[in-house]
Amino acid sequence: MLKLFSGRANPALAEKICSYLGIPLGAIEISNFSDGEIYVQIQENVRGRDVFVVQSICHPCNDSLVELLIIIDALKRASAKRITAVIPYYGYARQDRKVQPRVALTAKLLSDLISTAGTDRILTMDLHAGQIQGFFNIPVDHLFAAPVLIDYIRKKNYEDLVVVAPDAGGVERARAFARRIESPMAIIDKRREEKNVAHIMHVIGDVADRRCVIVDDIVDTAGTLAESASALVRQGALSVSACCTHPVLSGQAIERIERSPLEEVIVTDTIPLDSKRSNKIKVLSVANLLGEAIRRIHNETSVSSLFD
């Protein structure tokens, strides 16, 4: 029998997933002791059940992570048959390789923590780098928000559309996006001088008199996004929009988006926006996509066929 529980990071998304599956959200108590320690109690029988836990590792990311680990431990000790961690946004993923001496690989560290807690399987979306799947020694189902984002873009009926990769690392993602909508592609040549600070060098590709859509996995401080939009406008783009799966939106992100030439920033609900609002931001839900993947995992049918 399928059971789905939610942490406190993104309960609205969990509710939508349950609505798609036609099941109630599992009963769970999560609270904090006065010193901040997290308390979890599963309030229904899960012995022998196929259990899914929805929890994005988003702000406050450290609390969200520890809460996920504690929920998994509680389910394991309650004799759940299989525990799948549904992590719409896998935080700490940007530190996935050593680009400087003596730095941590947090993406690998988290995979070890989540596995050790008792997780049997991972379901996640738009990892910052595909190789993070290999950090786990348990099965990982890696979904992409592209079908949801592409469907929205297609309905716009843009002519002369160009898909733009915001940096060299995003070329593969942008190329797949461009292939699906049969559009040409351009690339932003970006040099990052320090954390959350990027300098746009130049645009590779023809964007003059075209409508540009920047495709990325994360919009964090929106500095790169705003600079990219300005660079494209300087090269003669008619308009600039952006599709970003995970709306981290930290620091001055909202202000930068408002001041930028971006017409629209299309994001998904892998991370709740709460008070982070802008008329330029359009939120699409990935609940049905996650819900269908959960159904297929539970029924032991193909998840990859979702993208055929």
Query: Taking the CB of residue 194, how many other CB atoms lie within 10 A of it?
Result: 6
What is the Cα–Cα distance from 172 to 105, expressed in whole angstroms? Answer: 22
| 190 assigned to active site | yes
Q: How far is CA 272 from the centre of its chain?
A: 11
In this structure, the strands spanning 211-219 and 28-32 are: unpaired
Looking at this protein, which amino acid is placed at residue 187? I
Farthest-apart Cα atoms in the chain, separation? 61
Which residues, in sequence order, are bridge partners of residue 161?
Answer: 211
What is the Cα–Cα distance from 114 to 133, expressed in whole angstroms? Answer: 13
Looking at this protein, which amino acid is placed at residue 257? I
Which H/E stretch holds residue 285? none
What is the Cα–Cα distance from 281 to 295, expressed in whole angstroms? Answer: 30
DSSP 198-218: EEEEEEES--TTSEEEEEEEE
Listed in sequence order, the DSSP H helices in 1-91 are 11-21, 61-77
Which of 16, 190, 195, 282 is an active site residue?
A: 190
- Cα of first residue to Cα of last residue in the chain, in angstroms, is 28
What the block records as the tokens of 165 is 């990769």
What is the Cα–Cα distance from 261 to 195, expressed in whole angstroms? Answer: 23
Q: Are 162 and 144 in contact (CB under 8 A)?
A: no
What is the Cα–Cα distance from 289 to 280, expressed in whole angstroms? Answer: 24
Residues recognised as catalytic: 190
